[in-house]
């Protein structure tokens, strides 16, 4: 039998619990029948309590995005998914929610789950976010990106070096982590002028990349249980490393960012030593702040963390998924390679971003990769203002939270939406699809790093498919399934691919003279056979003829590197196509002379194309001077010749010029 004291405490506890349950029941009853959203369809339990979402995500381990798709199949285009939350599947609703006219606040519960409340990403109100973005936008402008694209290219070169080394070792490469290492090194160098050197880690297993991936499932817990989030974020770093060793790399990076923030706050003069402008130049500039208080050290740190997560994950995933889908279609790869070879004939001389942006098929590949990649997978919740709103023809009351997604996977907008199809962006009516490409969101809260992301994708896809012949190493579609943890959390086998470098050719511009039509020239390079000659250096050579030996004044100008050996001029047998060669220039010579550019590889000279009498020909065997030969005339730029043409009149062969070389189908280890 309970003592009176104990009975009193027990009764008090029972009373408090009963009161709490009664309160919850009353709130649930109100939500079901009297809430402003009570008329919208959806699961009754979702209307009753927000624990419906918690149960689906935490206890059942489902992706909320998958749950939403099932709910829309059952209830229609507008579903009440929480006591005060709606979700819209109508594509048009996306533009009604996210646009430049609406300056709605972000929903607190979702955005406070990241611990970045004082960043451009985490600010809930439009005014706070705009003030911060106005300060930082110049850093991410197109002009700024063009000026720093060499930084992106440098990291790509490092990535390609590792891929080449892996191929030499006879193993495939982890492109999931490899591309994430590339984007992580790029964003940290761009924003902080301090790379984390993720690309230097063996097999791309950088601690920061592994830690970021391992930390994604924790977001689901943080979103639903704020006490867990506050406890974890409040731990000292040494304790966090002990309790969660798999995220130790993230803790170390946070310490690095924190140390840099403390340094620039205490001594802003250190920014003068930065090789380029970084985020702290902008954030600590009184002029940029226009009289507003400068950000605190905590705000600077949270901004840095937001940029790191936003820039180190989404672009890498887009490159990875686009690469996977391309490799599933050899015809798409062939078309992309053809376009890239024309724009990038010499491997050692990669084109600039401005040139790549003009390539239609590469641009279509990037757009389709953005469409099919989940990017930020979670619905981005917004709060309806006091004036209310009309979405999808329905009146939405003030303070309701809502979001719209599924635009990229809408069969109403994109035919065969499950298919990776770059050609959908190349049709006469494709301009109408641009409105539905919302990978960077829309409106005043859209991603300010879009220009940098585009630079990474243009240069990234170009480098992968121009420099390498890629082949999947067992990765399947099932391996790339993901769970929505705000960002996609890939749970299967990583994208593995063999990355075989394409053959690097030597391009030489050869000027010569001949005396007799029957003479067959043989070329021998003179000088240091171990030396690499780079343009515009010149290298001497001699030519001998079958009838008599002569030693005219001749020059050979390498356009890339030279493979030195006794060189002949055999009929080309491995040439696949010709790229426009106007960049090499035109050399005028008199009758009896000519200009040829040859490609030398593996101690062999290949004549790829010859300009004869103002016309350019492909696969032309140079066996005599001038030779009778059958060749395919190519290119409007060289006289407009098309089809097959036979040149046999020696009087019409006073000018020879090899325009370009392309052995795209060949590779070497």
pLDDT tens for 169-186 read 999 999 999 999 999 999
Of 480, 501, 522, which residue sits at a domain end? 501
Q: Do residue 519 and residue 456 come from a single domain?
A: no
pLDDT computed for residue 404 by the predictor: 61
Flag whether 80 is in a domain: no
Average confidence (pLDDT) over 250-272: 85
Q: Do residue 368 and residue 291 come from a single domain?
A: yes
The DSSP output letter for 520 is -
DSSP string, 522-548: EEEE-S-TTPPP-TT--B-EEEE-SS-
Is pLDDT above 80 for 9? no
- Residue 369 has φ and ψ, to the nearest 5°, of -65, -40
Tell me which of 152-161, 188-197, 401-410 is least confident.
401-410
Digit-coded pLDDT (tens) for 410-430: 899 999 999 999 999 999 989
Q: Which of 446, 394, 589, 448 is nearest to 510 (CA)?
A: 589
pLDDT computed for residue 258 by the predictor: 86
In the chain, pLDDT over 90 holds for what percent of residues?
Answer: 43
Contact (CB, 8 A) for 607 and 583: no
181 Cβ contact partners less than 8 Å away, ≥ 6 residues apart: 159, 198, 199, 201, 204, 206, 209
Measure the CA–CA gap between 607 and 619, rounded to whole angstroms: 7
Sheet holding 541-544, edge to edge: 541-544, 522-525, 566-567
513: which strand partners? 593
Flag whether 335 is in a domain: yes
The larger pLDDT score, comparing residue 220 to residue 169, is at 169
pLDDT grade for 619, boundaries at 50, 70 and 90 = very low
Number of domains, the chain: 2
Q: Do residue 511 and residue 527 come from a single domain?
A: yes
Percent of residues in the chain assigned helix, strand, coil, to nearest 5:
45, 15, 40
pLDDT computed for residue 6 by the predictor: 57
pLDDT computed for residue 555 by the predictor: 30
Which residue is it, tokens 């409105």?
435
pLDDT computed for residue 30 by the predictor: 86
The larger pLDDT score, comparing residue 230 to residue 436, is at 436
Digit-coded pLDDT (tens) for 111-124: 888 888 899 999 99
Flag whether 268 is in a domain: yes
Measure the CA–CA gap between 177 and 207, rounded to whole angstroms: 11
pLDDT computed for residue 4 by the predictor: 58
The larger pLDDT score, comparing residue 62 to residue 604, is at 62
The larger pLDDT score, comparing residue 240 to residue 328, is at 328
The larger pLDDT score, comparing residue 559 to residue 75, is at 75
Q: Which of 308, 404, 382, 396 is nearest to 125 (CA)?
A: 382
pLDDT computed for residue 580 by the predictor: 24
pLDDT grade for 71, boundaries at 50, 70 and 90 = very high
Sheet holding 85-88, edge to edge: 78-82, 85-88, 401-404, 382-383, 105-106
Contact (CB, 8 A) for 123 and 132: yes
Is pLDDT above 80 for 565? no
499 Cβ contact partners less than 8 Å away, ≥ 6 residues apart: 163, 164, 166, 167, 172, 173, 464, 468, 469, 470
Digit-coded pLDDT (tens) for 623-641: 333 222 222 222 222 222 2
pLDDT computed for residue 155 by the predictor: 97
Contact (CB, 8 A) for 91 and 406: yes
Q: Do residue 583 and residue 635 come from a single domain?
A: yes
Dihedral over Cα of 115, 116, 118, 121: its sign: negative
292 Cβ contact partners less than 8 Å away, ≥ 6 residues apart: 131
Digit-coded pLDDT (tens) for 354-406: 999 999 999 999 999 999 998 888 888 999 998 899 999 999 998 777 666 78
Q: Do residue 478 and residue 598 come from a single domain?
A: no
pLDDT computed for residue 524 by the predictor: 37
The larger pLDDT score, comparing residue 521 to residue 18, is at 18
pLDDT computed for residue 607 by the predictor: 36
Tell me which of 63-77, 465-479, 652-666 is least confident.
652-666
Of 476, 501, 526, which residue sits at a domain end? 501
Flag whether 344 is in a domain: yes
Is pLDDT above 60 for 598? no
Q: Where are the alpha helices (DSSP H) in 76-199?
A: 91-97, 108-111, 126-136, 142-147, 149-168, 175-192
Dihedral over Cα of 130, 134, 140, 143: its sign: positive
DSSP string, 560-591: S----SEE--PPP-S-------GGG------T
Which residue is it, tokens 């790829």?
608
The larger pLDDT score, comparing residue 187 to residue 610, is at 187
Is pLDDT above 70 for 530? no
Question: How far are the Cα atoms of 219, 222, 223, 302, 560 from residue 114, in angstroms, in the given order?
Answer: 7, 8, 8, 9, 49
pLDDT grade for 504, boundaries at 50, 70 and 90 = low
Of 501, 533, 560, which residue sits at a domain end? 501
Contact (CB, 8 A) for 394 and 90: no
Measure the CA–CA gap between 308 and 185, rounded to whole angstroms: 10
pLDDT grade for 581, boundaries at 50, 70 and 90 = very low
pLDDT computed for residue 3 by the predictor: 57
542: which strand partners? 524
Contact (CB, 8 A) for 68 and 81: yes
Q: Which of 567, 571, 612, 598 is nearest to 661 (CA)?
A: 598
Measure the CA–CA gap between 99 and 91, rounded to whole angstroms: 13
3-state secondary structure 65-108: HHHHHHHHHHHCCEEEEECCEEEECCHHHHHHHCCCCCCCEECH
Is pLDDT above 70 for 141? yes
Average confidence (pLDDT) over 235-243: 79
Is pLDDT above 90 for 660? no
Q: Residue 572 class from Cβ within 10 Å (0-12 exposed, 13-18 middle, 19+ buried)?
A: buried
Contact (CB, 8 A) for 309 and 216: no
Q: Which domain holds residue 426?
A: 140-199+245-377+414-501
Q: Do residue 495 and residue 537 come from a single domain?
A: no
Average pLDDT of every residue of the chain: 75
Q: Do residue 466 and residue 541 come from a single domain?
A: no
564 Cβ contact partners less than 8 Å away, ≥ 6 residues apart: 525, 529, 530, 531
Flag whether 337 is in a domain: yes
Q: Do residue 315 and residue 372 come from a single domain?
A: yes
Measure the CA–CA gap between 572 and 621, rounded to whole angstroms: 6
pLDDT computed for residue 161 by the predictor: 96
Flag whether 612 is in a domain: yes
Q: Do residue 569 and residue 434 come from a single domain?
A: no
User: Is 499 labelled as part of a ligand binding site?
Assistant: no
Digit-coded pLDDT (tens) for 315-342: 999 999 999 999 999 999 999 999 999 8
Measure the CA–CA gap between 392 and 90, rounded to whole angstroms: 7
Is pLDDT above 70 for 301? yes
Q: Do residue 483 and residue 512 come from a single domain?
A: no
In the chain, pLDDT over 70 holds for what percent of residues?
Answer: 73
Contact (CB, 8 A) for 208 and 253: yes
CATH number at residue 167: 1.10.630.10
pLDDT computed for residue 402 by the predictor: 67
Q: Do residue 312 and residue 444 come from a single domain?
A: yes
Tell me which of 189-198, 245-254, 279-288 is least confident.
245-254
Flag whether 221 is in a domain: no
pLDDT grade for 217, boundaries at 50, 70 and 90 = confident
**Region class of 486: left (phi > 0), else alpha (psi between -120 and 50), else beta:** left
Q: Do residue 538 and residue 431 come from a single domain?
A: no
């Amino acid at each position: 039998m309970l003592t009176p004291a104990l009975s009193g405490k027990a009764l008090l506890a029972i009373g408090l619990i009963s009161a709490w349950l009664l309160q919850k029941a009353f709130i649930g009853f109100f939500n079901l029948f009297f809430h402003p959203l009570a008329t919208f369809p959806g699961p009754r339990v979702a209307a009753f309590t927000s624990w419906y979402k918690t149960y689906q995500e935490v206890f059942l381990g489902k992706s909320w995005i998958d749950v939403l798709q099932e709910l829309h199949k059952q209830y229609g285009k507008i579903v009440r998914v929480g006591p005060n939350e709606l979700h819209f599947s109508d594509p048009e609703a996306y533009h009604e929610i996210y646009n430049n006219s609406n300056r709605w606040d972000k929903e607190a519960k979702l955005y406070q789950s990241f611990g970045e409340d004082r960043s451009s990403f985490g600010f809930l109100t439009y005014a706070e976010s705009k003030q911060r973005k106005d300060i930082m936008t110049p850093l991410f402008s197109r002009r700024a990106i063009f000026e720093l694209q060499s930084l992106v290219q440098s990291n790509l070169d490092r990535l390609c070096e590792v891929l080449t080394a892996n191929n030499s070792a006879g193993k495939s490469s982890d492109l999931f982590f490899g591309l994430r290492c590339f984007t992580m090194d790029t964003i940290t160098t761009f924003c902080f002028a301090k790379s984390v050197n993720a690309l230097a880690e063996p097999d791309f297993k950088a601690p920061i990349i592994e830690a970021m991936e391992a930390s994604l499932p924790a977001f689901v817990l943080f979103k639903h249980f704020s006490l867990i989030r506050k406890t974890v974020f409040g731990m000292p770093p040494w304790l966090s490393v002990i309790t969660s060793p798999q995220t130790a790399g993230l803790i170390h990076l946070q310490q690095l960012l924190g140390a840099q923030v403390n340094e620039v706050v205490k001594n802003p003069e250190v920014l003068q030593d930065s090789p380029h402008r970084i985020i702290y130049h902008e954030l600590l500039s009184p002029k940029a702040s226009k009289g507003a208080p400068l950000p605190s050290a905590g705000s600077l740190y949270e901004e840095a963390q937001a940029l790191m997560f936003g820039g180190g994950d989404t672009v890498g995933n887009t490159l990875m998924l686009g690469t996977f889908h391309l490799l599933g279609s050899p015809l798409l790869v062939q078309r992309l390679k053809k376009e890239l070879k024309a724009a990038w004939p010499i491997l050692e001389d990669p084109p600039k971003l401005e040139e790549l942006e003009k390539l239609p098929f590469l641009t279509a590949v990037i757009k389709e990769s953005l469409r099919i990649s989940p990017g930020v997978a979670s619905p981005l919740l917004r709060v309806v203002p006091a004036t209310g709103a009309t979405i999808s023809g329905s009146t939405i009351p003030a303070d309701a939270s809502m979001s719209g997604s599924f635009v990229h996977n809408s069969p109403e907008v994109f035919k065969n939406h499950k298919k990776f199809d770059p050609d959908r962006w190349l049709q006469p009516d494709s301009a109408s699809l641009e409105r539905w490409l919302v990978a960077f969101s829309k409106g005043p809260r859209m991603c300010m790093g879009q220009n940098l992301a585009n630079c990474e994708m243009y240069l990234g896809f170009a480098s992968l498919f121009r420099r390498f012949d890629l082949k999947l190493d067992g990765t399947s579609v099932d391996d790339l399934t993901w769970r929505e943890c705000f960002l996609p959390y890939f749970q299967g086998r990583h994208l593995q691919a063999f990355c075989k470098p394409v053959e690097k050719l030597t391009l030489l511009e050869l000027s010569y003279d001949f005396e007799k039509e029957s003479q067959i020239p043989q070329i021998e390079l003179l000088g240091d056979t171990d030396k690499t000659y780079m343009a515009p250096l010149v290298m001497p050579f001699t030519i001998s003829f079958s009838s008599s030996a002569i030693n005219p004044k001749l020059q050979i100008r390498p356009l890339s590197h030279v493979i030195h050996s006794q060189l002949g001029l055999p009929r080309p047998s491995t040439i696949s196509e010709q790229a426009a060669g106007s960049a090499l220039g035109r050399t005028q010579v008199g009758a009896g002379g000519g200009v040829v550019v040859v490609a030398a590889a593996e101690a062999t000279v290949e004549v790829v194309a010859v300009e004869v009498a103002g016309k350019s020909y492909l696969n032309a065997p140079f066996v005599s001077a001038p030779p009778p030969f059958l060749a395919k005339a190519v290119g409007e730029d060289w006289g407009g010749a098309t089809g097959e043409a036979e040149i046999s009149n020696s009087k019409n062969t006073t000018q020879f010029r090899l325009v370009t070389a392309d052995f795209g189908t060949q590779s070497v280890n």
